[in-house]
Amino acid sequence: MRSRTNLVPRLGIVLGSGLGGLADELAGPVAIPFDELPGWPAATAPGHVGRLILGRLDGVPVAMLQGRLHLYEGNDPGLVVQPVLLMGRLGASTVVLTNAAGGLNPAYAAGTLMLIADHINLTGRTPLLGPNADEIGPRFPDLTDVYAPANRERLHAAAEAEGTSLEEGIYVGLLGPTYETPAEVRMFRGLGGDAVGMSTVLEAIACRWAGIEVAGISLVTNPGAGYSGEPLNHEEVLAAGAAAGPRLARVIRRFLRELP
Ligand code: HPA
């Protein structure tokens, strides 16, 4: 990375399904396809381009991940979190994780933006399995406030200033790649979940381990399986992401401009 650019990002931003358009707004972009970084595979998920891009957004130096590495692609948990750890190594003190998600909260229609207040990791995986790298973080990281309360307040303020409603709830992270069964959706709702998806939780864990602050926003692209009576499909997810993505982008840009 350092042979390509000296830019020190203030913030890292991971762009979820259908949200990749924000990367086109970067000034002076230096884009590196995943598979040009040692040990990284090409991104395979449709809707994910698979590039790490450094540049300036509204004057603020940022690192953006356009697309991400998912567990369901067969990636090891340790690899899934390499991008956010790299962002931290490049200098980002905060990482904003975005994702497309299904609504577990029956009040969430497609297009709802949900600030992640906390998560439930049901992937059955952790990026921290194995000997601990003590120079990066502790063996037993605290996850009390994964999604820093100060960032949540700032994001609510940013959404209000942009005239966009922003819910707040619990994200349930699963392995995928199937969407859930209606019985699972009812169970995850019963467990306290508001939105469900196939990413984010491992990245958030790795960031907290490494001392990187985290903010998370889900874009609800569809009601959870069984709520509408209609089958779910990835095209619908991408379309809803594309439709509501610009609203999420405005919130993130204001958040970034108003960082202390
Ligand atoms: N379930 C899991 N992941 C998702 C969904 C969903 O309904 N929608 C978008 N990502």
- Other CB atoms within 10 Å distance of the CB of residue 74: 10
In this structure, is residue 66 part of a structural domain? yes
What is the C-alpha to C-alpha distance for residues 22 and 123, in angstroms, rounded to an integer? 28
Q: Answer whether 221 contacts ligand 1 (Cβ < 6 A).
A: yes
pLDDT digits (tens, 9 = 90+) for 140-155: 999 999 999 999 999 9
Residue 77 has pLDDT above 90, yes or no: yes
First-to-last CA distance in the chain? 27
Residue 21 predicted with pLDDT over 80? yes
Domain that holds residue 64: 11-257
Considering the domain boundaries, does residue 26 fall inside one? yes
Q: Give me the pLDDT at residue 140, please.
A: 97
Q: Say if 3 falls within a structural domain.
A: no
Question: Could you give the CA distance from residue 117 to residue 98 in angstroms, rounded to a whole number?
Answer: 13
d(CA 42, CA 196): 25
Query: For the domain that residue 226 is a member of, what is the CATH number?
Result: 3.40.50.1580
Q: Which residue has the higher pLDDT, 14 or 44?
A: 14
Alpha-carbon gap, residue 38 to 40, rounded angstroms = 6
pTM score over 0.75 = yes
Residue 101 tokens read as 């998600």
Answer for the pair 167, 115: CB distance below 8 angstroms, yes or no.
yes
Ligand 1: which residue has its CA nearest to atom 3?
197
Q: Is 227 a catalytic residue?
A: no
Answer yes or no: 199 catalytic.
Answer: yes
- Distance in angstroms (rounded) separating the CA atoms of residues 2 and 16: 25
* pLDDT of 47 higher than 60: no
Q: What is the pLDDT of residues 180-219, one digit of tens each?
A: 999 999 999 999 999 999 999 999 999 999 999 999 999 9
Is residue 156 annotated as part of the catalytic site, yes or no?
no
> Is 222 a residue of the active site?
yes
Query: Is residue 5, in this structure, part of any structural domain at all?
Result: no
Residues 66 and 49: beta-carbon distance below 8 Å: yes
Q: Token pair of 99, please?
A: 């994702």
Task: Indicate if ligand 1 lies below 6 Å from the C-beta of 222.
Answer: yes
Residue 6 domain flag: no
- Tell me what pLDDT residue 1 has: 87
- What the block records as the tokens of 151 is 């960032």
Ligand 1 center–CA 179 separation, angstroms = 6
Say whether pLDDT at 240 is over 60. Answer: yes
Nearest CA to ligand 1 atom 10: 101
Structural domain count, the chain: 1
- Confidence band for 170, pLDDT divided at 50, 70 and 90: very high
